[in-house]
Amino acid sequence: MNAEVNRAEQLWYNWEERQRQLQGIPGLAGEGAMAIKWQQYDFLRQGLYRIGADPTEKEVLFMKVIGAFTEKLQRQLYPNPLARLLHRLKAIVYDRPMHLRKFSAQREANLTMLKGQLKALGFLAINGRLENYLDYETSRVGIPLTQQLNGETRLDILLKLESDGLGAYRFTQYEATLLRHGEHGRSWQFDAKDGMTVLEAANLLDGRPVRKGVEIADGRSQAKWLQLDFAGKDERPVLQEFHPGYAYELKDELLKLGMQTAIAGLSKSDTVRSLEAGNVAMIRFGDKGTFYLHANPAGQGLSLFDRDKKPLELAQLLKAARQYNFSQPQIMQVVKMHDRGKVADQSQGIGR
């Protein structure tokens, strides 16, 4: 639980938001207005059950104010003193413990679901402390993370979760910013439904393309290439999409290069999958040099670079290949350019 959040105050704000939604329904008068009062009473008293288990000093004052308000509502909803007394006894003996048990089970199920979702995207470090952020009264939660990449490069991340209003959170999106020493940061917001892993996000922000699955109209899944274009005058990059049917086949390009350079296994399935995730392949021709390549759907080919990561013409790579003694084995491996270090919790003062 975030100690900086006053859950009792947030409970009241949450009700005000819910009330605005309900009052927007046409024809709510008479019985409808009374139904809203019942909703308000249940909403606030159940929130007080949850917060009352472990309130902070700041929350106690707000709880007293909300408690006085719910007592007033209770007298309106149960005008008969005997009925009101029986209701109070039921609330103590049954309603409160039942609500807390149900809420605890729902919270555990929600945490399990969120942890699985975040783990699949590469956000492992937050799983051990996720519950510290989810006080289940705040409607929106932002969780800052950071990952140190190679050299002086790091990836700052802000995970965003929203409450469904019924006591559970859903992961909606995350914003990732790639920062290098002395350079302006590159940022992009990734929706949870896109399934972009943290490694793929780093590769995209570094300018390399990523191939991701997309569901088409009939429910089948196909894949499209995505690439962030940073060449525009605007500081904000543009997302390029190369949809299914676009005339680009990475495996064909790798096969072609393999034949030209006599590199065996360049088009292996694991190499293709890694390059589709935005990674880089490294080629070493003995003492003739080290070269790098990655997918280039926009140019319908491959992007080649020398050991200093400067663009390389195909003719230069072929020259090195011809000069090399092909009777000796060549070394080719995939380099995960941003798979160094782990995503770490960047927050301060979380928990009590």
User: Would you list the domain boundaries of the chain?
Assistant: 7-113, 123-247+341-345, 250-335
Mean pLDDT value across the chain: 83
Structure tokens at 98: 């039942």
Amino acid at 53: A
User: Which of 14-23, 111-120, 211-220 ranks highest by mean pLDDT?
Assistant: 111-120
Report pLDDT for 333: 62
Q: For residue 80, is pLDDT > 50? A: yes
At 59, is the pLDDT very low, low, confident or very high (cuts 50, 70, 90)? very high
Amino acid at 173: Q
267 alpha carbon, distance to own chain's centre: 31
Q: Which residues does residue 280 pair with via DSSP β-bridges, in sequence order?
A: 335
Report pLDDT for 1: 55
Report pLDDT for 132: 84
Report pLDDT for 233: 58
Q: For residue 98, is pLDDT > 70? A: yes
pLDDT digits (tens, 9 = 90+) for 126-158: 877 888 888 778 888 999 988 888 777 889 999
User: Which of 59-73, 173-187, 238-252, 266-280 ranks highest by mean pLDDT?
Assistant: 59-73
Q: Which of 67-71, 98-102, 215-219, 333-337 has the lowest mean pLDDT?
A: 333-337
Report pLDDT for 322: 79
Report pLDDT for 348: 31
Over range 307-333, report the average pLDDT.
75
Which residues have CB under 8 Å from 288's CB, separation 6+?
Answer: 320, 323, 324
- Of the two residues 287 and 37, the one the predictor is more confident about is 37
At 319, is the pLDDT very low, low, confident or very high (cuts 50, 70, 90)? confident
Report pLDDT for 232: 64
Handedness of CA 338, 339, 341, 344 (dihedral sign): positive
Over range 175-197, report the average pLDDT.
87
